[in-house]
Amino acid sequence: MPSAYAGNPSNYPASVNILSGGDAPNTANFNTAYEGTLDRTAFLRARTANAVQNWYPSILPASFPANSSDNAGTVVYGAAWNPKTAQWLVLTSNDNASGNNKRVSAYLTYGEDPASAGIPNGHFGTSAVAQDGSVVVDPNNTSGFLAALTYTSGSSLVFKCVGTTWTQVHTFSSDGSVAMCSFGGYGIFFTVGITVPANGDVIISSTADSGSTWSTYTYTLSLSASYVSAVEIKASASLVIAVPISYSGSSGLNDYFTSPDGVTWTHRTFSFLGSHDLIVGISWQPLAAVWVVAVQTSVLSGTTTAFYSSPDGVTWNLITAGPAVTLSDIESVGPVLVCALQQPANATPCNIMSSEDVGATWYLNQGTLPGMASTGTSNPAVVTNGNQIFAFNANNLRFSNVAGLPASHL
């Protein structure tokens, strides 16, 4: 009875024996030739799949002023894809060069644009420097956007954008990191307070009318929010998951929140996490129909990784113990998972790695992000529209249609 054989991606035979006229036409003779050919095919595919597009150089517009007063250059907060206009909107800091005392700038790009081709799309915020920011397409105005900025003063401001005009629509009392997503007709805001409203207080709030009214869920974490260094919120077609992210090796933070409708939330915990394991990022992989979380394991004793998957966001199974790297973020683009890696040392590039088998095998990409002077200001991240991807750190933003894979896996 026939059996499936996908080929051995680790084997590339120097030659393949083929049948001659006098050989018996039996299964063993045919399989000898087929097996070698399939091994060669699998070997080549593992080393060239998705390598058709290199990463573009940093596409931050040259006209954007350096944020010199913050000693960090132009800071990239995030990006969102608008399918109606087929453009990305990117949020960055500025040095009040617009003359209107606003410290956040937006610009539109098709991704492949040279650094001089970004289209300015307004300024907003306050005269203070926003400590974090996030932006999504407004689900109730698909030509516009919703953005959130947080400030150390204890406020999180939400803005809506119509054309190039940004209007503040809501204020939350929170001074932590912020993330937003669109889901089921809602724009969803997610933050964890550090000192405001209280240490460890979670706020998840949804709007179905571009920010006029909000439905808010709150929860107090069992340990200090000083351990929460970032937040992520991602959505599939039927579920949204919000995750507080910690980079502290002894935090014990294992909380996350799920919602089937964007309004009703359930608190859950990642039961598989050890006391020194950290969730670094989460992504929905639509082709495999699973959620994938990236985990930094045993962070006090070394840089090891693991990846877990779940079809429902509740039951999680180990995919693999990953390569010995330090993770920063994870996203899905087409059939590929893409991870941004932490900057390993001052002024050292940030690497990007990819997996085309739902996290079982990982490859370094050709593209890297230029390193920051200090690792503490880098914060590499990735964002996708499903077919294209941006990788960015505080001062650099790179685009690729497809994640590329080089010759050897990690």
pLDDT tops 60 at residue 368: yes
Q: Are strands 255-259 and 266-269 parallel, antiparallel or unpaired?
A: antiparallel
Which 8-state DSSP code applies to residue 70?
Answer: G
Rounded to two decimals, the pTM is: 0.83
What is the predicted pLDDT for the residue at 186?
A: 96
20 or 268: which leads in pLDDT: 268
Delineate the domains of the chain, giving CATH numbers in brackets. 61-267 (2.120.10.10), 270-410 (2.115.10.20)
The pLDDT tens digits for 95-154 are 655 555 678 889 888 876 665 567 889 889 988 888 899 999 999 887 899 999 999 888
157-179 per-position pLDDT tens digit: 999 999 999 999 999 998 888 99
The letter for the amino acid at 268 is: R
User: Measured between alpha carbons, how far is 298 from 20 in angstroms, rounded to an integer?
Assistant: 57
Q: Tokens for 103?
A: 């410290």
Looking at 112-254, which runs of residues are DSSP E strands? 119-124, 132-137, 145-150, 156-162, 165-172, 178-183, 186-192, 201-207, 215-220, 228-235, 240-246
Q: What is the dihedral of CA 60, 61, 65, 70, to 10 degrees?
A: -10
